[in-house]
Structures are given as C-alpha cells and as structure tokens.
Amino acid sequence: MSNISLHPLLNDGLTLGSGTFAGGTLVCHCADKPVKVSVGSDALHNHACGCTKCWKPDGAIFSIVGVVPKHTISVLENGDKLAIVEEAATIQRYACTGCGVHLFGRIEKAHAFHGLDFIHAELFEEQGAAAPGFAAFVSSAIEGGVDPVEMDGIRARFKDIGLEPYDCLNPPLMDALATFAAKQNA
C-alpha cells in the first residue's frame, strides 16, 4: 500500500504508557501564547479515531483521542484563545483559534459519556500517557478523503501494531452507549 501516515505515534509501532501516568499539561501548537490545560488523569479508553471531527496532526489520517473525568480539567493559560468548533455537535470541541489544535471536547447533554472530556494525549508536555488500545471509526477515514482501496491495508496495519480496527467504537463502549439508550427508552 501507499505511504499513508496513520498518525506519527502509530507509524513506527506503539509506545506503551508508563501505567502510572496521573495527568499533566496539554499544550497547543502556538509558538506564541500557547493554550495550556491541566489534566489530573491518564487518558482512558484511548483510541485511534478515523472520524472527520477529531483533531489530527498535520498529515495524519487518524486522531488519537481518549477521555478523562471532566472535573480533572482546568484551563491554565490563554483560555481566551479557545472557541467551540461546532456548537451543535455531541462533543463540543474547544480548539485554539491560533493553531487549530483541539484542547478538549465536552458533552453537555444527557449521554453515556457525559462527565468525560475528550483529549489528545500527544499534547501532554509530559511522557507516559496510555497508548491507544483500539482503532475506531476506521471506515470514516474515507469521508476524510482516504481512497477506499487503501482500507484493507490500513486495517492490516492497525492489526500489525496490535490495535483492533472497528468501524464504530469497540464493544465495551458500544455496550455502554446501548445500555444508556436502553435505560432512556425504558
């Protein structure tokens, strides 16, 4: 297959987390007045995401995104540069208006993942955050511009590095969404 970059942190195999990471500071890509956000948790359910909405570094076709309890997040510096990307989205992503990096995403409505904020662990200035554990929304990469003929190779590459590819979320998270929906509909 072609030289597609899944993500800079996936292209040469996974770097495992320390297992003891308890949070740190997320920093955007601005050279001047970067936005800094404190997080008091490791990235939970960390995964590669091929959807069109999650932030990706330049040249990558997958995002790496995980969640943290929202009460562990606080904006430390230059929060005036943050703006919500898409107000109507389930996940309201707070992006830096200078560089476009998403610092965190929050769900304000009733939802299985309410109370969890979405973050990109590669933005931690510290090392040791959890590695991604699976790949989600893989087929959505086509919506982002990937040629469908590349998909077999992309799925094979994920399997090679130990990440099971799914076209939605992984079974435990899909079960959590379905459990929430079942309770709401009861």
Ligand X SMILES: N[C@@H](CCC(=O)N[C@@H](CSCO)C(=O)NCC(=O)O)C(=O)O
Extract the annotated binding site.
28, 30, 49, 51, 54, 96, 99
State which residue, 75 or 142, has the beta carbon closest to ligand X: 142
Q: Decide which of Zn ion, ligand X, none touches 72; Cβ closer than 5 to 8 Å per partner kind.
A: none
User: Tokens 């989205």 sit at which residue?
Assistant: 89
Pairing of strands 134-136, 116-119: unpaired
**How crowded is the C-beta side of 178, counted as CA atoms within 13 Å?**
8
Based on the shown chain and the rule CB under 6 A, indicate whether residue 155 belongs to the binding site for ligand X.
no
Residue 49 Cβ vs ligand X, minimum distance, rounded to whole Å: 4
Amino acid at 185: N
91 binds, among ligand X, Zn ion, none (CB under 5 to 8 A by kind): ligand X
Q: Does 146 bind ligand X (CB under 6 A)?
A: no
Q: How far is the C-alpha of 162 from the C-alpha of 159, rounded, in Å? A: 5
Active site residue 54: yes
Q: Which two tokens stand for residue 27?
A: 């920093």
Residue from 30, 130, 161, 176 touching Zn ion (CB under 5 A): that is 30
Cα 64 from Cα 134, distance rounded (Å) = 10
Site for ligand X in 80-109 (CB under 6 A): 89-91
Segment 42-101, which members bind Zn ion (CB under 5 A)?
49, 51, 54, 96, 98-99
Among ligand X, Zn ion, none, the one that 27 touches (CB under a kind-dependent 5 to 8 A) is: none
Distance, CA of 161 to CA of 12 (rounded, Å): 9
Name the active-site residue from 49, 61, 65, 129.
Answer: 49
Helix (H, G, I), strand (E, B) or coil at 11: coil
Partner that binds at residue 89, options Zn ion, ligand X, none, CB closer than 5 to 8 Å by kind: ligand X
Q: In what order do the strands lie in the sheet with 134-136?
A: 82-84, 92-96, 102-106, 116-119, 63-69, 44-49, 134-136, 164-165
**SS3 at position 159:** helix
Q: What is the contact surface with ligand X in residues (CB under 6 A)?
A: 49, 51-54, 65, 89-91, 136-137, 140, 143
Point out the residues that are catalytic.
Answer: 49, 51, 54
